[in-house]
Amino acid sequence: MAASALHNAQWVDEDVPIELISNRARRQRGLIVRNEALAEDEITYVGRLPVTTRARTAFDLGRYLPRGEAIARLDSLMHSQVFSIEDVLLLAKRYRGARGLKALRAALPLVDGGAASPQETWLRLLYIDAGLPRPTTQILIVEGRGRLVRAADMGWEEYMVVSEYDGGQHQTSRRQYIKDIRALRRARELGWIVDQVIKEDRPTEIVERARTALMSRGWKP
């Protein structure tokens, strides 16, 4: 995670343990030491600090973290700057006996750099795991001659259904909250079904609202 932060991934707390690949380092508080193979082409530099490349960082995130967190971290790494999924899979071929390869291969197809927060990743996976069509991210809602109304968090453009995760921005910025409300109101006027999801919603309720909206627009399970 510390390596991903150095590559400008967001949502990494300052107190996360530093993970070091070494066969000599002494274990101590705040430091996780892994005795693994690391090739020269898997190392880059941020300033003067050696750090695993984006592909190697993704390779490690996908192997060592639980599924939901791994995909959220990979989404954030992809959001900061696109990395090659193929390069990560090549590392999996290079290290055929490495720990966690099955989890990595399952996570990589679900990575989406359009997710702007861990909550958005969680919501996208909720829909996928419930058997709904895979939502796309950052759907552009436009009117007239292409004037942008809103870039929706995720949804199903074919059915004009989108979901917005309300991260409580109204608690920190009244101006942003008003802007969002007006944009979503206009999206509805243009015929879009907009579901605003809050953290207090039950997962089953969130899925059912999306399922109902999609079916109302012609989707058949």
pLDDT in tens, the chain (221 residues): 999 999 999 999 999 999 999 988 888 899 999 999 999 999 999 999 999 999 999 999 999 999 999 999 999 999 999 999 999 999 999 999 999 999 999 999 999 999 999 999 999 999 999 999 999 999 999 999 899 999 999 999 999 999 999 876 656 778 888 898 999 999 999 999 999 999 999 999 999 999 999 999 999 99
18 forms bridges with which residues in the sheet? 31
pLDDT of residue 167: 76
Taking a C-beta distance cutoff of 8 angstroms, is the pair 162, 137 a contact?
A: no
Q: Give, rounded to a whole angstrom, the gap between the first and last alpha carbons of the chain.
A: 38
| Type of residue at 150 | R
| Cα 23 from Cα 155, distance rounded (Å) | 46
CA distance 181 to 187: 10
Answer whether 104's CB lies under 8 Å from 68's CB. no
Q: How many Cα atoms are found within 13 Å in the side-chain-facing hemisphere of 203?
A: 10
pLDDT of residue 174: 83
**Alpha helix stretches (DSSP H) within the chain:** 2-6, 54-64, 67-80, 85-94, 101-107, 118-129, 174-189, 203-216
Taking the C-alpha atoms of residue 153 and residue 112, their distance in angstroms, rounded to an integer, is 12
Closest of 137, 115, 150, 133 to residue 207, by C-alpha? 133
pLDDT at 171: 65
- Main-chain phi, psi angles of 71, to 5 degrees: -65, -40
CA distance 22 to 18: 12
How far is Cα 1 from Cα 37, in angstroms, rounded to an integer?
18
Please tell me the number of Cα atoms within 13 Å of 34 on its side-chain side.
13
Gyration radius (Cα) of the chain, Å: 20
Tokens of 106: 């399952």
What is residue 152's predicted lDDT score, i.e. its pLDDT?
97
